[in-house]
């Protein structure tokens, strides 16, 4: 499948998905939302892909936000449809079986921050800037920012970012727990590839089950999440990878996982 606004690059079991609108700072318009969704469906159908890296083209922006030029003339009903598409895309990323790493290489504003929040792990370049500036435009976050951001950094910090509309640096994002590490620009993608390769080397069915259980932290009460964890844990004992992993451990040799 070919795309106009998305680039796909595979390196063994790791797939890098790049939003490719550098002149528009990789802003999310309707075409990008559609092609991202199509690309994610393709990734979902490829079991050989065990980890995904999401980033933006160029050296200025991860995603500078939703495309204001497209949004400016929306009616309320058009805005509702656009927000719905954005929410469905973020849910699609969050529910993708493979872990998704955000490599935030520049501006991640509005929809850019929301896109990163839908990922499992967020790493940032020293040049990255985060923010939910929607209130400076007369609107509010529409792709999940008011819901995912408080769950990650806490309600008060999220309120400060969303209600004030100010940008924060990568270092400040690190201090508040929004990102896991801040790296020099030329080290960001290599670091993400290293982390993704390490994840991809683990038992894929176990990684997918663990991601599913981790996501329930945000969506279910503790008791329901623990019940899901128990069920997924027990189901893995019917897999060849579980037998191989434990046999390899006991034999003191590297495990050879096959995803079955």
Active site (catalytic) residues: 114, 134
* Contact predicate 59/105, CB 8 Å: yes
Taken in order 194, 200, 203, 205, the sign of the CA dihedral is positive
Task: Work out whether strand 121-125 and strand 100-104 pair parallel, antiparallel, or are unpaired.
Answer: parallel
Instruction: State the DSSP H helix or E strand holding residue 121, giving kind and residue range, or none if neither.
Output: strand 121-125
* Contact predicate 70/139, CB 8 Å: no
Taken in order 67, 159, 188, 46, the sign of the CA dihedral is negative
Taken in order 46, 14, 205, 104, the sign of the CA dihedral is negative
User: What is the DSSP-derived secondary structure letter of residue 45?
Assistant: T
* Contact predicate 89/2, CB 8 Å: no
Taken in order 235, 227, 96, 181, the sign of the CA dihedral is negative
At 172 the three-state DSSP class reads: helix
CA 36 to chain centre: 12
Tell me the backbone φ, ψ of residue 202, rounded to 5 degrees: -85, 170
């Amino acid at each position: 499948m070919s795309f106009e606004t998305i680039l796909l690059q595979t390196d063994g079991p790791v797939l890098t998905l790049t939003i490719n609108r550098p002149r528009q700072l990789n802003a999310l318009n309707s075409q990008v939302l559609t092609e991202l969704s199509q690309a994610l469906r393709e990734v979902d159908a490829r079991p050989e892909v065990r980890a995904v890296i999401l980033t933006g083209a160029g050296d200025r922006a991860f995603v500078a936000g939703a495309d204001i030029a497209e949004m400016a003339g929306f009616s309320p009903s058009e805005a509702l449809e656009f927000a719905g598409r954005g929410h469905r895309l973020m849910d699609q990323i969050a529910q993708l079986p493979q872990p998704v790493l955000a490599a935030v290489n520049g501006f991640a504003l509005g929809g850019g921050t929301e896109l990163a929040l839908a990922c499992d792990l967020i790493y940032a370049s020293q040049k990255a800037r985060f923010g939910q500036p929607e209130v400076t435009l007369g609107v509010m976050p529409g792709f999940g920012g008011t819901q995912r951001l408080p769950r990650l950094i806490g309600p008060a910090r999220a309120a400060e970012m969303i209600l004030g509309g100010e940008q924060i640096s990568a270092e400040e994002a690190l201090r508040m727990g929004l990102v896991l590490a801040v790296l020099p620009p030329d080290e960001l993608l290599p670091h993400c590839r290293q982390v993704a390769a390490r994840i991809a080397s683990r038992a894929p069915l176990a990684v997918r089950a663990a991601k599913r259980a981790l996501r329930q932290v945000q969506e279910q009460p503790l008791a329901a999440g623990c019940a899901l964890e128990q069920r997924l844990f027990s189901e893995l004992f019917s897999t060849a990878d579980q037998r191989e992993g434990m046999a390899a451990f006991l034999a003191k040799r590297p495990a050879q996982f096959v995803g079955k």
